[in-house]
Each structure stands twice: as C-alpha cells, then as structure tokens.
C-alpha cells in the first residue's frame, strides 16, 4: 500500500489516472490558497478554504513522510523518516503548512506566534513546481545547464562591475556612490533604463550606449541556453513515449 501511495503522489506516470487526479487536486489547492494574497480584506470564504487547503497540505506531507524510504531509496525506513523532513522539498511543504496553523491562534495566546508564519504563505506557490511536468522539465534543464548559466551569470556580474567602475570615474558628479553606479550598470545591462540616474556628459552617454548594446547580448544568452535545453528535453520525452 505504501508503494502505491508513493506512485500516486510522487511518480506521476502518464497513464496513472489516480496520480493525475491527485496532481490536479494539489494544484487547485495551491492556487486557491494563494488567492487571498491578492486581497487586502479577509473574507469568511477564504478562512474556510484556508482550513481545507491546509488540511490537504498536511495530509500530503504525512503521506510523503511515510513513503520517504521509496523517495530517498534507502532500505532503513527509520533513517528515511528522520532525513526526509530536512530535504528541500519537505521544508517547502512545511513552510506552506505553517501559515494555515495561525487559524488556531484565536483561542490560545501562545499560538498567536504562528501569525508570523502568514508571511510564508507565498511559499505555497513553489509547491506547484512538483506537480507541473513542464516546470519540472525546465528545472531539470536548468540543473543540466548550470555550468553554462553560471558562466553567463559571472560574465554579467563582471560586466556590471567594470561598467560601474568606468562610469563612476567618468561621471563623478552624477553618481554620488559606487552603489549608484552599480545600479545604473544593472538597469543599463538589462536595457530597462529607468531614467532616475543617467550620465550627462558625452563620454558617459557613449558608455551607456555601449553598455546597453552588450546588455542585449548578455541577457539573451541564458534565454537561448534554457530554450535549447528545453527543446532537447521535449524531444527526449517524445522519443520515450514512442512504442
């Protein structure tokens, strides 16, 4: 029975109807649970939905704990039960549950401390990553392409620092601190250009144009890497589905 539970909540096979229904229910619960974040006033309807969704999250958490040995692929069940709560996804699950526990604070003063955890409600969005096949593929692509992405990130940081140093020395009167120069270099690199801090000299404007042009190329690199990896992953998935 525990193995079947694990298959439903974790494996998510394409031909497993129970797994598909479970994923749909959890995705719906996640979406419903974050709707109150877009509203300033608390409605009674959302109080009840919060109770229901929190209950579902608790059940999901318990099911994952009791099947942790299948997830972690360890023969010792006790070791799996002890290790699983400290895994990244288990921590996300726990953080998503804690905001709902604040509903208990009305009758007990000590439990009012749980109100602090309401700010963690936004973490419930990250639970959706587990139940979306497309997002899972993207996460896997980013994991496989981490070296290339880190290289691009290092290139972008290096370029920002160099641009900031140059503009800080060329436009000393415009940029009061080096942080202002870094801020300008960042928004110029991303071609956003808020316009709140900008160079006034001819040399500074030339540097800005060069920075923006290079920024287009640097920003496009990670998008190309992820897109290429995603298309390759989709192609591999289609090959696996072929009989």
Residues contacting 96, CB < 8 A, separation 6+: 33, 57, 120, 121, 123, 124, 126, 127
Q: Are 96 and 57 in contact (CB under 8 A)?
A: yes
Exposed, middle or buried: residue 12 (CB in 10 Å: 0-12, 13-18, 19+)? middle
pLDDT of 174: 83
Q: Which of 184, 214, 187 is nearest to 198 (CA)?
A: 184
In the 8-state DSSP scheme, what is residue 42? P
Q: Which residue has the tokens 């691009």?
A: 152
Whole-number mean pLDDT of the chain?
A: 79
**pLDDT of amino acid 114:** 47
Q: How many CB atoms lie within 10 A of CB 204?
A: 18
Architecture of the domain delimited by 144-241: Orthogonal Bundle (1.10)
Residues 148-198 have pLDDT tens digits of 888 888 888 988 898 888 888 888 788 888 888 889 888 888 777 777 888
- Using the CB atoms, write b or e for 20-49: b if 16+ within 10 Å: eebbeebeebbebbbebeeeeeeeeebeeb
The fold of 2-131 is 1.20.120
Please tell me whether the overall predicted TM-score, pTM, comes out greater than 0.85 for this model.
no
Closest CA to 182 of 157, 206, 204: 157
- Encode pLDDT of 95-132 as tens digits: 888 777 765 555 544 444 444 555 565 565 666 666 66
Indicate the domain borders of the chain: 2-131, 144-241
Cα dihedral angle (40, 43, 45, 46), rounded to 10 degrees?
40
CA 237, CA 110: separation in Å to the nearest integer? 51
Contacts of 3 (CB under 8 A, 6+ apart): 67, 70
% of the chain with per-residue pLDDT over 70: 82
């Amino acid at each position: 029975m525990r193995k079947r539970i694990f298959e439903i909540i974790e494996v998510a096979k394409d031909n497993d109807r129970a797994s598909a229904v479970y994923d749909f229910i959890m995705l719906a619960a996640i979406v419903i649970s974050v709707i109150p974040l877009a509203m300033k006033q608390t409605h009674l309807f959302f109080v009840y939905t919060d109770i229901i969704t929190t209950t579902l999250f608790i059940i999901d958490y318990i099911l994952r704990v009791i099947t942790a040995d299948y997830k972690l692929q360890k023969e010792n069940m006790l070791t799996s039960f002890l290790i699983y709560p400290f895994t990244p996804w288990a921590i996300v699950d726990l953080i998503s549950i804690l905001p709902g526990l604040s509903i208990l604070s009305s009758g007990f003063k000590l439990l009012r401390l749980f109100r602090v955890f309401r700010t963690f409600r936004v973490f419930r969005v990250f639970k959706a990553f587990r139940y979306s096949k497309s997002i899972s593929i993207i996460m896997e692509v980013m994991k496989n392409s981490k070296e290339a992405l880190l290289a691009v990130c290092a290139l972008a940081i290096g370029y920002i620092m160099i641009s900031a140093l140059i503009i800080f020395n060329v436009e000393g009167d415009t940029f009061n601190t080096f942080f202002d120069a870094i801020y300008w270099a960042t928004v110029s690199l991303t071609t956003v250009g808020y316009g709140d801090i900008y160079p006034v000299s001819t040399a500074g404007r030339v540097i800005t144009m060069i920075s923006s042009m290079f920024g287009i190329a640097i920003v496009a690199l990670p998008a190309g890497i992820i897109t290429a990896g995603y298309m390759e992953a989709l192609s591999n998935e289609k090959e696996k589905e072929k009989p």
